[in-house]
Amino acid sequence: MSTVMGGVGVEETSGSWPVLAGDLTPGRKLRLSDDAVAAELFAAHYSRLAGWCRRLLDDDQTASEVAMEAFTRLLGRLRKVEDPVGYLYVIAANLVRDHWRKTKREREGMRVLQHERPADQDSGDLELRRLVEGLPERLRVSVLLYYYAGFPIGDIARLTNRPTGTVKSDLFQARAVLRKALEGTR
């Protein structure tokens, strides 16, 4: 399959690095530089990744920082990664989870310092987010990638190195856990 990256014809081959298809010498192909591939990935995927992070974090600045950090980490492993877009979302999911943990520790620390009782959450979205944060990692990653990032089940299976049936089972179990927890709060 051929596409156009930066106005140059690029031949994509399964499992290999993109190469320039329109070189002057017939039959000879040049590899795109890391910078060119990174620039194309950034242009094509940054806004969607940052928007996904924004939905999870409710903070534009933090979402932007998470998305940039994901791209920075990808850049260091660019030639070693088979699916750069999937890798970006896995990195971002891990960074979001780290941010949630950090803010939870900060809130708990502030409560201890101020001798406050935990405040009730009025918003169902905040309650759902708290419940998703509390899911076991194998369930949480599947939920984040499927429901929040919009990845198909087959892609999630490939990204997490698990069979498709296992991902479906994880999503089923996660929905059951979340449903039971939400019914208990109403």
pLDDT tens digit sequence for 61-82: 999 999 999 999 998 888 888 8
* Band of pLDDT at residue 17, cut at 50, 70 and 90: very low
Give the start-to-end residue ranges of the domains of the chain: 1-32, 33-185
Backbone angles phi, psi at 8, to 5 degrees: -115, 135
The C-alpha atoms of residue 102 and residue 119 are separated, in whole angstroms, by 18
pTM of the model: 0.51
The C-alpha atoms of residue 58 and residue 77 are separated, in whole angstroms, by 29
pLDDT in tens, 92-147: 999 999 998 888 877 776 676 565 444 444 455 788 888 888 899 889 989 988 88
Which superfamily, per CATH, for 33-185?
A: PhyR, sigma-like (SL) domain (1.20.140.160)
